[in-house]
């Protein structure tokens, strides 16, 4: 379970270019929930994920993960509880190493496990099983160098590597935004397969409204550092792209009226 309580973060406080990134943001995400985060550029989406991961230190407010207040916990301590995938498919993996070697590296980072045995048969079998979850055939390419994979395969590998340590929370910040539409759909489907199979509590930021409609249990809309809207349950099941875009245009209308 994730709880954000009255999170506030102001950049360049008191200066002419002061920016309120998070303005008393409160949010709850139940264990196993897959929340899709939407909102205009600058709404505070990445700031929220950074505050959860500890990369951003809040001015005030609290971050609670599975009942523990992690607000003052340093990034490296939180990292073992969190998995994160970023926009750039080149960043999450090492190009000149094989799929299996990359997964071994991820294991090293996320666990206290000893690597004395290296890529032994048991480990390779585990990696195969995890890659099968993605449905992309990567389980048959354990010895392929990552630079030979497509952007979509590579980003999906980043995802499965990130969640290998059974994290409390998976954070996805526009992880399909740098991919062409077809590849983005492939990575989204792989994401959902992995999230469902591993029952991961997930927060995914996206500007793709079709993805927000098609995937996840809830839609969370941020606006000016606050929670503007939360769509859950039956309402989420029925929501359309037009409905979601409508919530953006209400804001635009308000801005036009104000100007
Ligand atoms: N490191 C930083 N230094 C200064 N201002 C920042 C910093 N990070 C974010 N901001 C500001 O905080 C606000 C929220 O930014 P944030 O990156 O969280 O938005 P976002 O919703 O992720 O937008 P996008 O959809 O463009 O990714 C913006 O006004 C942004 O300019
Ligand atoms: Mg962002």
**Helix H or strand E segment including 109:** helix 99-110
Q: What is the mean pLDDT of residues 245-255?
A: 69
Q: Would you tell me the crossing angle of helices 151-162 and 121-132 to the nearest 10 degrees?
A: 120
Cβ-based burial of 13 (10 A; exposed 0-12, middle 13-18, buried ≥19): exposed
Whether 129 has a pLDDT exceeding 80, the answer reads: yes
Q: Which domains does the chain have, with CATH numbers?
A: 2-258 (3.40.50.300)
Cα(31) to centroid(ligand 2), Å = 24
Q: What is the pLDDT of residues 153-173, one digit of tens each?
A: 999 999 999 998 889 999 999
* The predicted structure's pLDDT at residue 111: 63
pTM: 0.92
- Quote the CA–CA distance of 167 and 109 in Å, as a whole number: 13
Cα(79) to centroid(ligand 2), Å = 20
Cα(4) to centroid(ligand 2), Å = 18
Cα(43) to centroid(ligand 2), Å = 8
- Quote the CA–CA distance of 159 and 162 in Å, as a whole number: 5
Q: What is the mean pLDDT of residues 229-240?
A: 97
Whether 131 has a pLDDT exceeding 60, the answer reads: yes
* The predicted structure's pLDDT at residue 114: 60
Look up residue 249 and give its two tokens: 């245009």
Cα(23) to centroid(ligand 1), Å = 12
Per-residue pLDDT band at 211 (split at 50, 70, 90): very high
Least Cα distance to 108 among 98, 94, 118, 99 occurs for 118
Whether 112 has a pLDDT exceeding 60, the answer reads: no
What residue owns the CA closest to ligand 1's atom 11?
Answer: 21
Ligand in closest contact with the CA of 41: 1
* The predicted structure's pLDDT at residue 110: 65
DSSP state of 145: B
Ligand 1 atom closest to residue 9's alpha carbon, by position in its atom list: 12
Q: Would you tell me the crossing angle of helices 99-110 and 121-132 to the nearest 10 degrees?
A: 100
Among 7-21, 79-93, 114-128, 182-196, name the one with the lowest average pLDDT: 114-128
46 lines ligand 1 (CB under 6 A): yes
Ligand 1 atom closest to residue 42's alpha carbon, by position in its atom list: 19
* The predicted structure's pLDDT at residue 90: 86
39 lines ligand 1 (CB under 6 A): yes
* The predicted structure's pLDDT at residue 47: 98
* The predicted structure's pLDDT at residue 119: 87
Ligand 1 atom closest to residue 49's alpha carbon, by position in its atom list: 18
The CA angle 231-233-236, to the nearest 5 degrees, is: 45
* The predicted structure's pLDDT at residue 26: 98
Strands (E), the chain: 2-11, 19-29, 34-38, 60-65, 68-69, 82-85, 169-173, 202-205, 218-223, 226-231
User: Which residues, at least 6 apart from 46, have a Cβ–Cβ distance to it below 8 Å?
Assistant: 173, 205
* The predicted structure's pLDDT at residue 256: 58
Q: What is the mean pLDDT of residues 11-30?
A: 96
């Amino acid at each position: 379970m994730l709880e954000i309580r009255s999170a506030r973060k102001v950049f360049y406080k008191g200066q002419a270019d002061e920016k309120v990134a998070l303005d008393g943001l409160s949010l709850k995400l139940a264990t196993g929930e897959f929340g899709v985060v939407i909102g205009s550029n600058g709404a505070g989406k990445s700031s929220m994920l950074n505050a959860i991961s500890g990369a951003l230190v809040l001015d005030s407010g609290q971050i609670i993960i599975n009942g523990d207040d992690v607000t003052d916990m340093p990034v490296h301590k939180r990292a073992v509880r969190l998995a994160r995938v970023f926009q750039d498919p080149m960043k999450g993996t090492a190009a000149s190493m094989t799929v299996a070697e990359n997964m071994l590296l991820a294991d090293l980072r996320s666990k206290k496990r000893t690597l004395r045995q290296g890529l032994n048969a048991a480990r390779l079998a585990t990696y195969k099983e995890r890659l099968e979850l993605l449905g992309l055939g990567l389980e048959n390419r354990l010895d392929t160098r990552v630079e030979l994979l497509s952007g979509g395969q590579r980003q999906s590998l980043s995802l499965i590597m990130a969640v290998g340590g059974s994290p409390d929370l998976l954070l996805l910040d526009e992880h399909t935004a740098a991919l062409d539409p077809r590849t983005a759909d492939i990575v989204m489907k792989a994401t959902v397969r992995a999230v469902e199979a591993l029952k991961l509590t997930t927060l995914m930021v996206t500007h793709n409204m079709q993805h927000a409609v098609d995937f996840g249990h809830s839609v969370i809309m941020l606006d000016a550092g606050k929670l503007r809207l939360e769509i859950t349950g039956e309402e989420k099941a029925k929501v359309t792209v037009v409905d979601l875009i409508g919530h953006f245009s209400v804001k635009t209308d308000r801005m036009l009226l104000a100007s």
